[in-house]
């Protein structure tokens, strides 16, 4: 029986496991969304929820406890200034696990671990350097069903024949190589 065996070992030593979860929680709180395996996500969720609870306390002692686990001081300040007020009226359940499928290499089940109520970042527009942006072209108007309008012309047999030898030449080149 597995009574009172709380931790998931994940095939790692205790120090490796602790370092991995510290890194995962730091990344989760910084980016508010990470992709990992389901087993790691379930375990990392415990630590992330505990850090948000410390942030909600807001005391100096809670801040120092968070600093012992979270690897980046900027993330701790974000936790206490942005995330804690966001979850002030919520009693637990600060993260969500979304299963995304299976990893190609080893078949491990993948999941996205994200903060509930996170604000999605705005997509960045890429600007081309050196060229001026042209005004968008107006779409060509297609003729309506008028008596003068003709249906689009189909290619003639001659035009079809002109395209065929090109394909034959490609095959001939492949055969000669």
Q: Residues of the chain with pLDDT > 70: what percent? A: 73
In this prediction, residue 7 carries a pLDDT of 85
In this prediction, residue 168 carries a pLDDT of 55
pLDDT digits (tens, 9 = 90+) for 12-23: 999 999 999 999
Query: 58 with 87: CB under 8 angstroms?
Result: no
In this prediction, residue 58 carries a pLDDT of 93
Q: Give strand pairing partners of 102.
A: 109
Name the 3-class secondary structure at 96.
Answer: strand
In this prediction, residue 37 carries a pLDDT of 96
The pTM of this model reads: 0.66
**Domain annotation for the chain: domains and CATH numbers:** 14-115 (3.90.1030.10)
Residues 50 and 57: their CA atoms lie apart, in Å, by: 11
- Helix, strand and coil content of the chain, in percent to the nearest 5, comes to 45, 10, 40
């Amino acid at each position: 029986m597995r009574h009172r065996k709380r931790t998931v070992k994940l095939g790692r030593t205790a120090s490796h496991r602790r370092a991995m979860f510290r890194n995962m929680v730091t990344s989760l709180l910084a980016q508010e969304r990470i992709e990992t395996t389901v087993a790691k996500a379930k375990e990392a969720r415990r630590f992330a929820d505990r850090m948000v609870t410390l942030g909600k306390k807001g005391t100096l002692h809670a801040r120092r406890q968070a600093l012992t686990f979270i690897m980046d001081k900027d993330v701790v300040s974000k936790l206490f200034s942005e995330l804690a007020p966001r979850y002030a009226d919520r009693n637990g359940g600060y993260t969500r696990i979304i299963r995304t499928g299976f990893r190609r290499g080893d078949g491990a089940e993948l999941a996205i671990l994200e903060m509930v109520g996170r604000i999605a970042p705005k997509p960045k527009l890429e600007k081309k350097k050196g060229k001026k942006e042209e005004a968008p072209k107006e779409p060509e108007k297609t003729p309506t069903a008028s008596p003068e309008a003709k249906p689009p012309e189909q290619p003639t047999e001659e035009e079809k024949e002109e395209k065929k030898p090109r394909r034959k030449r490609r095959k001939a080149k492949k055969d000669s190589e």
